[in-house]
Amino acid sequence: MRSAGLLFLLLAGCTTGNIPAGDWPTTGGAPGNSRYSTLDQINTRTVAQLRPVWVYHTGDLPPDRHGEIQATPIVVDGVLYATTPKVAVIALRADKGTLLWRFDAFPNRSTQPHVNRGVVYWADGGGHDRRIFFSVERRLYALDARTGRPIPTFGDSGSIDLGAGLSREIGDAYLVATSPGAIYKNLLIQGMRVGEDDGSAPGDVRAYDVRTGAIRWTFHTIPHPGEFGYDTWPAGVWQTAGGANSWAGITVDTARGIAYVPTGSATPDFYGGARTGANLFANSLLALDAATGKRLWHFQTVHHDLWDRDLPAAPNLVTVTRGAARVDAVAQIAKSGFVFLFDRQSGKPLFDIAERAVPASALRGEHAWPTQPFPVKPAPFARQAIGAGDVAEQELGRFRTLRHTFFAPPSHEGSIVLPGFDGGGEWGGAAVDPETATLYVNASDVPWIAAMRESAHLPPTTGVPRTGATVYAAVCSACHGTDRRGRDRAPSLIDLGTRVSKAEVRQILDWGRGFMPSFASLPAAEKRALVQYLGYEVAPSDTGGWAALRATRAPYEFVGYERWRDSSGFPATKPPWGTLSAIDLNTGDYRWRIPLGEFAALTARGIPVTGTEQYGGPIVTRGGLVFIAATQDAKLRAFDKNTGQLLWEASLPAPGYATPSTFAVDGKQFVVVAAGGGKLGSKSSDTYEAFSLP
């Protein structure tokens, strides 16, 4: 086995090609996030022989059997590190799938706190100190990679509070880190996920000392007075504004010492009347000095976002050919289906980007930005607009009532968002082949609807509190359904009390959580009635403990997350509904594009493969293969990277809504993927499954 010291030297300052071929030491495969492996034992000639070799069950699905695993396993020196549905960390013997250790920060909890997409490995130069970093709820933990025990000298006995040291106090506002941070020397550069509505935490990016947990630098994504970009917001709004956070992951060019940080939208997501301006550094790719946090350059991909167009994945480092020159570049995919390609050092776009006029908003007080950036090349890898001919026949009537121009702002009547709120590109990210500078990216082509209504959760003018059923119908049913069974992003509320405590429900109503907005503006009596309606016992005297009533700043609220489906439950547009594309970044041209995923019932009727909605991304190998799960049909597939031809597929116990990884132990190559399911109404599982050759 190679020493951890050698491994660290390779990670700290070298390119993808120098990473030991047998390891997959970061969720992106290497610091450059290429998701590329030099392994070629499994190749276009041998892949047909690929078979399952081990399955590991984490054993901690919640009692209702609904959970998710979105993590990409990392592998270092024959040990696989990953997370479970409960967001415990596990270390497995990578060739056998047998447990070495497990760490659970909340061993008595039965519910899944949030999703997690992987962990971070760091080792010192001598190999004596090896650490695993991961986050659950607000805490960032440092574990001994050999034992799984917290490092007592890191932070407070092994963990730190991610809410500490922000630009301002955030109280109980929602804050977690779902994606792993990125290592630069002895720093862990970490983003986080915050709420989507008023009252959300600011999206500060911090670098932590890997040994002590101390904050070494902070970058304000919502600029403070005197900082670049402050004039793109109303004066003083930094003291209350939230979002502009980097939740999707960070990529570091270790040789140059540059951290590439993609950010999301400012809050609230769909109405920006209180945040007029372009809103830097929301929806931006930031290039920061990894040692100091100083801004080197930036590019904003959406101005004054009204569509939740977060940059959804860590960017990919790649070297491309321009004439006779080789140019080190950074490629950023977007929910919109665009690929933005920049010179890594200068930030200069390597394909022209045009500012084009887009529709105005009809909502009072809203000032949509008049133009948005459109890369001239590559062409979008997902559909961005539709006409009547693209819509299922039974949905044509509704289509005519909706705004359907690309970048049409949310509206009273409803605006089609295509690609949908989850993309297009999503957190699974893209892979790049350094041999050919080809980018492989999958996409969902599923329309969503963005509709707004007059704020329904303002305090009643009559002074008479509404009943719990009335409050639920007004502010909850659009997302969770009139039957409380949930849909799209919103979970079921049936038997909520068996999964979530009354105290947690109260906290969520006051502060929001993830996509769930805050309802702090509801009077305490109405919150109490709503909690009782959801099945909790509430005493009539229970009037204390709620967040102070605050006026709703926005005159509008979002109606709810709605995938636009036809009467059969399929997307309301004609297929394909999911694709996999190969894009030559030297020229901006497509090598191939295919539908990805199928619905067996439709295939049985003779309908060509339609593709499905997807979560999780691809990896690519020197063996000539692209591996990807991601689809609703619960399969892992291997494609010829040059042609897009399907060469192999295997059924999984549940959909693999995660990006796979590949590694070798003692010369034998493996491919592993989390088959957690859980999204899109899919079956859940607690499974990691590995494949290898006979």
Average per-residue pLDDT for the chain: 92
394, pLDDT greater than 50 = yes
How does pLDDT run across 296-331, given as a tens digit for each residue? 999 999 999 999 999 999 999 999 999 999 999 999
Which amino acid, 488? D
Question: pLDDT value at position 8?
Answer: 33
Bridge-partner residues for 636, per DSSP?
Answer: 650
φ and ψ at residue 603, rounded to 5 degrees: -60, -40
- 498 vs 418, residue with greater confidence: 418
For residue 308, which of 367, 353, 231, 243 has the smallest C-alpha distance? 243
Question: pLDDT value at position 635?
Answer: 98
CA distance 473 to 558: 14
DSSP string, 223-277: PPTTSTTGGGS-TTGGGT--B----S--EEETTTTEEEEE---BSSSS--TTS-S
CA distance 51 to 462: 67
Bridge-partner residues for 487, per DSSP?
Answer: 490
379 token code pair: 């062409």
How does pLDDT run across 241-260, given as a tens digit for each residue? 999 999 999 999 999 999 99
Residue with tokens 């036809």: 566
Confidence bin at 432 (pLDDT 50/70/90) = very high
Spatial CB neighbours of 596, under 8 Å, sequence gap ≥ 6: 442, 578, 579, 580, 611, 612, 614, 628, 630, 631, 637
What H or E segment, with its residue span, contains residue 479? helix 477-480
Domain ranges of the chain: 456-551
CA distance 245 to 152: 29
For residue 84, which of 634, 670, 505, 658 has the smallest C-alpha distance? 658
Which amino acid, 669? Q
Pick the range with the lowest mean pLDDT from 214-218, 296-300, 558-562, 657-661.
Answer: 558-562
Q: What is the mean pLDDT of residues 332-342?
A: 98
Residue count of the chain: 694
- % of the chain beyond a pLDDT of 70: 93
How does pLDDT run across 91-119, given as a tens digit for each residue? 999 999 999 999 999 999 888 999 999 99
* Cα–chain center distance at 225: 30
233 token code pair: 């917001």
15, pLDDT greater than 60 = no
Question: pLDDT value at position 18?
Answer: 43
For residue 658, which of 627, 685, 630, 681 has the smallest C-alpha distance? 630
Where do the DSSP E strands lie in 23-86? Answer: 36-37, 51-57, 74-76, 79-83
10 Å CB burial of residue 519 (0-12, 13-18, 19+) is buried
How does pLDDT run across 266-278, given as a tens digit for each residue? 999 999 999 999 9
Crossing angle between the packed helical segments 502-511 and 524-533, to the nearest 10 degrees:
130
How does pLDDT run across 499-515, given as a tens digit for each residue? 778 777 877 777 677 66
CA distance 30 to 386: 38
Question: pLDDT value at position 462?
Answer: 55
Pick the range with the lowest mean pLDDT from 286-300, 486-500, 597-611, 634-648.
Answer: 486-500
Confidence bin at 520 (pLDDT 50/70/90) = low
Residue with tokens 């597929």: 649
Confidence bin at 543 (pLDDT 50/70/90) = low
230, pLDDT greater than 90 = yes
CA distance 564 to 573: 8
546, pLDDT greater than 70 = no
Question: pLDDT value at position 545?
Answer: 63
pTM: 0.92
565, pLDDT greater than 50 = yes
Confidence bin at 467 (pLDDT 50/70/90) = confident
Question: pLDDT value at position 1?
Answer: 34
For residue 290, which of 398, 370, 134, 183 has the smallest C-alpha distance? 183
- 9 vs 660, residue with greater confidence: 660
CA quadruple 415, 173, 26, 123: dihedral, nearest 10: 170
How does pLDDT run across 55-86, given as a tens digit for each residue? 999 999 988 889 999 999 999 999 999 999 99
* Cα–chain center distance at 492: 21
CA distance 57 to 653: 11
How does pLDDT run across 135-163, given as a tens digit for each residue? 999 999 999 999 999 999 999 999 999 99
- 462 vs 93, residue with greater confidence: 93
10, pLDDT greater than 80 = no
Q: What is the mean pLDDT of residues 189-218?
A: 96
Q: What is the mean pLDDT of residues 31-53?
A: 97
φ and ψ at residue 66, rounded to 5 degrees: -110, 120
What H or E segment, with its residue span, contains residue 131? strand 130-136
Confidence bin at 466 (pLDDT 50/70/90) = confident
Which amino acid, 522? L
Question: pLDDT value at position 689?
Answer: 98
Where do the DSSP E strands lie in 418-567? Answer: 431-433, 438-444, 448-450, 452-454, 556-558, 562-563
679 token code pair: 């999204």
359 token code pair: 């529709």
How does pLDDT run across 437-461, given as a tens digit for each residue? 999 999 999 999 999 999 865 555 4
Tell the CATH superfamily of the 456-551 domain: Cytochrome c-like domain (1.10.760.10)
